[in-house]
Structure 1
Amino acid sequence: MFVYLLILGLIIQINCATICDSDVCLCKRYNSDKEQELEGVQVVCSHKQVNVLQNNYTLPDLVHSLDLSFINISTVHSSPLLTSNALVELILNDNVITQVDVNSFQLPELKRLDLSNNQLEFIDKDTFKGVKKLEYLNLANNRFTTFTKLMFHRLSNLNEIILDNNNLGPVLNNSNLFDRSGFGLTNKIKSLSISGIHLNQVPNNFFVDAYDMRELIISNNNISQMFEIPMTLEYLDLSDNPITDIFSEDFANLVALKVLKLNNLQIQTIPESAFQYLPALKTLELERNRNLTTFSKLAFGREVLVDADNFGLERLSLKGSRVSQLDDALLTPFGVLTELDLQGNPWKCDCQIVWVKQLQIPEELNDHLR
Structure 2
Amino acid sequence: MQLITMFSTSVWWLSLVTLTAADYVTWPGCPLATVKRIIQPNTPDPEATILDLKECNISHIEYNNFAHPNLELLAISSNDITNLNADVFKSLTQLRSLYLGYNRIKGKDIPPNIFENTRRLERIGFTGNNMTGTPQILLQGLDSLGTLWLDNCSLQEVPFFAAHKSLKQLYLYDNQIKTLDNPDKCIWLQNLVKLHLYNNLIEFIHEDFFRPLINIENIDISRNKIRYLPDKLFTNLTSLRTVNLEKNRIEYVTLESFSGCRNLSHINLSYNKLTFLPLNFVCQFGRLEYLYFERNPWQCACLNDILIEVKSKAVQYRDIDNKGSSAACIAVDFRCHRLKDVHRELFDSIIQDSV
Say yes or no: does 1:295 pair with 2:253.
Answer: yes
User: Do the aligned partners of residues 246 and 202 (structure 1) sit closer, same or farther apart at CA in structure 2, a change above 3 Å counting?
Assistant: closer
Instruction: Report the equivalent of 1:22.
Output: none
Instruction: Report the equivalent of 2:303.
Output: 353
- Secondary structure of 2:121's counterpart equals coil
Instruction: Report the equivalent of 1:99.
Output: 60
Instruction: Report the equivalent of 2:236.
Output: 277
- Secondary structure of 1:269's counterpart equals coil
Cα RMSD, aligned residues only: 2.9
Say yes or no: does 1:190 pair with 2:146.
Answer: yes
The residue type equivalent to 1:225 in the other structure is T
1:138 CA displacement: 1.0
| 2-structure distance, mates of 1:68, 1:104 | 21
Instruction: Report the equivalent of 2:195.
Output: 236
1:365 CA displacement: 4.7
What 5-or-longer segments of structure 2 have no aligned partner? 322-326, 330-355
- Secondary structure of 1:216's counterpart equals strand
Contact 1:254–1:277 (Cα < 8 Å) also in 2? no
Identity score, percent:
20
Contact 1:324–1:345 (Cα < 8 Å) also in 2? yes
Contact 1:237–1:260 (Cα < 8 Å) also in 2? yes
Q: For residues 23-68 of structure 1, give each alpha carbon's deviation from its aligned partner in whole angstroms, at most 9, with x where no partner exists.
A: xxxxxxxxxxx855x224668x8xxxxxx54xxx452554564655
| 2-structure distance, mates of 1:67, 1:271 | 45
Instruction: Report the equivalent of 2:136.
Output: 176
Q: For residues 171-204 of structure 1, give each alpha carbon's deviation from its aligned partner in whole angstroms, at most 9, with x where no partner exists.
A: 22xx22536xxxx56243221121222222346x
| 2-structure distance, mates of 1:100, 1:201 | 30
Q: For residues 303-341 of structure 1, give each alpha carbon's deviation from its aligned partner in whole angstroms, at most 9, with x where no partner exists.
A: x6xxxxx72111111122222221222131357422222
1:91 CA displacement: 2.1
Contact 1:82–1:106 (Cα < 8 Å) also in 2? no
Say yes or no: does 1:314 pair with 2:249.
Answer: no
Instruction: Report the equivalent of 1:249.
Output: 208
Contact 2:90–2:116 (Cα < 8 Å) also in 1? no
Q: For residues 342-362 of structure 1, give each alpha carbon's deviation from its aligned partner in whole angstroms, at most 9, with x where no partner exists.
A: 2222222x2222122232466
Counterpart selection for 1:223 from 177, 183, 191: 177
Instruction: Report the equivalent of 2:349.
Output: none
| 2-structure distance, mates of 1:369, 1:139 | 46
| 1-structure distance, mates of 2:203, 2:34 | 44
Counterpart selection for 1:344 from 288, 295, 299: 295
The residue type equivalent to 2:153 in the other structure is I
1:286 CA displacement: 0.4
Contact 2:114–2:138 (Cα < 8 Å) also in 1? no
User: Do the aligned partners of residues 114 and 250 (structure 1) sit closer, same or farther apart at CA in structure 2, a change above 3 Å counting?
Assistant: same
- Secondary structure of 1:354's counterpart equals helix
What 5-or-longer segments of structure 1 have no aligned partner? 1-33, 46-51, 305-309
Where in structure 2 are the equivalents of 1:17-32 lying within 5 Å? none
1:282 CA displacement: 0.8
| 1-structure distance, mates of 2:9, 2:45 | 14
Where in structure 2 are the equivalents of 1:62-141 lying within 5 Å? 62=21, 65=24, 69-71=28-30, 72=33, 74-80=35-41, 83-141=44-102
| 1-structure distance, mates of 2:278, 2:111 | 53
Contact 2:10–2:50 (Cα < 8 Å) also in 1? no
User: Do the aligned partners of residues 365 and 195 (structure 1) sit closer, same or farther apart at CA in structure 2, a change above 3 Å counting?
Assistant: farther
User: Do the aligned partners of residues 296 and 324 (structure 1) sit closer, same or farther apart at CA in structure 2, a change above 3 Å counting?
Assistant: same
User: Do the aligned partners of residues 346 and 163 (structure 1) sit closer, same or farther apart at CA in structure 2, a change above 3 Å counting?
Assistant: same
Counterpart selection for 1:155 from 93, 110, 118: 118
Q: For residues 97-124 of structure 1, give each alpha carbon's deviation from its aligned partner in whole angstroms, at most 9, with x where no partner exists.
A: 2122432211112111111222211232
Instruction: Report the equivalent of 1:17.
Output: none
Structure 1 residues 82-91 or 149-158, which shifts more?
Answer: 82-91
1:285 CA displacement: 0.6
| 2-structure distance, mates of 1:288, 1:274 | 18
Contact 1:67–1:90 (Cα < 8 Å) also in 2? no
| 2-structure distance, mates of 1:117, 1:258 | 31
- Secondary structure of 2:51's counterpart equals strand
The residue type equivalent to 1:39 in the other structure is S
| 1-structure distance, mates of 2:97, 2:103 | 17
User: Do the aligned partners of residues 40 and 150 (structure 1) sit closer, same or farther apart at CA in structure 2, a change above 3 Å counting?
Assistant: closer
1:216 CA displacement: 1.3
User: Do the aligned partners of residues 298 and 143 (structure 1) sit closer, same or farther apart at CA in structure 2, a change above 3 Å counting?
Assistant: same
Contact 1:64–1:89 (Cα < 8 Å) also in 2? no
